[in-house]
Amino acid sequence: MPPREGIYGLLAEFNTPGELVRATEEAHQAGYRRMECYTPYPVEEAAVALRFHKTRVPLVCLLGGLLGGTTAFLMETWISVWSYPLNIAGRPLFSWPAFIIPAYEWTILFAGLSAAYGMLALNGLPQLYHPLFNAPNFRDGASTDKFFLCLEAADPRFSIIESRAFLERFAPVSVVEVEL
């Protein structure tokens, strides 16, 4: 793999979530789209400012549940009717009431697992490397008491000079270039 060159983006550090949200909102108005907020705890307004809306986790969860329920039900049907038919108290081989509970359990199991793993997968996790950790202040502050806005270089609106000037209008603690 050739060495990666250039920068990932510009990282602005703020002391309060309010400043972060304001900067994010204005960045959105200025036309930036490839950007991300990093906060030590969930800041709902930052998500609003990012226009972060929907994820596909619910869909993955639903599909997982349907898959689990169907699999269990069909498997029980196959076992009881074709693979190993047993006469249990003279009931029909296809005794669907008895199949419901395992099918239900599998629905929950598959839905739960697909929600958890689907969330990880859609988040791109596990991720062994992320350029942001090249910024020392990010390493120290992102999970304790600092609020970060990163304008990514992939954004067409991004310019190393103008974007820096734009971010500095919000009086951040610092604006650093993040290397790839």
Partner 1 sequence: MSSAHEQHGEHGAQGHHGPQADHGPRALPASLNAPDVLLAWRRRALLVAAAFALLTLLFTSTHEGRNHIMRAYLMGYMTVFNFAGGALVLLMLQYVTGGKWGLLLRRPLEAMTRTLPLVALMVVPILVPFLGKHLYQWVLYPDAASTHNAYLNHLINQEQELTANFKRPMLNPHALVVESCIIFAVLLLFMVLLNRWSIERDADPASGTEPSYDRWRTRFENLSGPGILVYVILLTLGAIVWIKSLDVTWYSSIWGLQFLVAQGYAVLALSILSVILLSRYEPMKTLLRTTEQHDLGKLAFAFVMLNIYLCFAEFLIIWSGNIPDELPWYLNRIRGGWWYVCSLDFICHWLIPFCLLLSRDLKRNKRKMIWLTCFMIFARLVDMFWLIEPNFSDSAANLHIAGNIGMLAYITVPATVLALWSAYYMTQLMSRPLVCTNDPHLEEILEPEHAF
Helices 96-122/57-77 angle, 10° precision? 150
Site for partner 1 in 124-153 (CB under 8 A): none
Count other Cβ atoms within 10 Å, centred on residue 6. Answer: 9
Site for partner 1 in 72-111 (CB under 8 A): 89, 91, 97-98, 100-101
| 37's tokens | 């907020």
Q: How far lies 166's CA from each of 38, 159, 162, 163, in Å?
A: 19, 10, 6, 5
Place of tokens 């304790």: 144
Asked if 21 touches partner 1 (CB under 8 A), the answer is yes
Cβ of residue 45: shortest distance to partner 1, in angstroms? 5
Cβ of residue 120: shortest distance to partner 1, in angstroms? 20
Asked if 41 touches partner 1 (CB under 8 A), the answer is yes
Residues that bind partner 1 (CB under 8 A): 16-18, 21-22, 25-26, 41-45, 47-49, 52, 58, 62, 89, 91, 97-98, 100-101
